[in-house]
Amino acid sequence: MFGLRAWPTPVWKPMSHFIVGGGITFYLVNKLQNSMLQNELYAKDPRNPFGSRRSNQH
């Protein structure tokens, strides 16, 4: 395009560690958040979206 040569720029190889690390961090934070929301300590918190279901079960 307009006389410019397309150079093969490596994107995946240098960024792969950051992409995989971000995915692992997202998964672990999501797992920790869900386990804390289902904990007995936070079951009666009005901000808990699982609180009403949890209190009705017992």
Q: Is residue 48 part of a domain?
A: yes
Evaluate whether residue 26 is within a structural domain. Answer: yes
Residue 4, domain member (yes or no) = no
Quick check: is 5 in a domain? no
Dist CA 20 CA 55 (whole Å) = 38
Establish if 23 belongs to a structural domain: yes
Return the structure tokens found at 51: 């609180």
pLDDT value, residue 56: 60
Domain-embedded: residue 2: no
CB 37 within 8 A of CB 49: yes
Ramachandran region, residue 8 (left: φ > 0; alpha: ψ -120 to 50; beta: rest)? beta
Q: Specify if 42 maps to a domain.
A: yes
DSSP 5: -
Q: Which domain holds residue 35?
A: 11-56
Residue 48 pLDDT: 83
| pLDDT attached to residue 19 | 97
Domain count, the chain: 1
pLDDT tens digits, one per residue of 4-54? 777 788 889 999 999 999 999 999 999 999 888 888 888 778 888 877 665
pTM of the model: 0.64
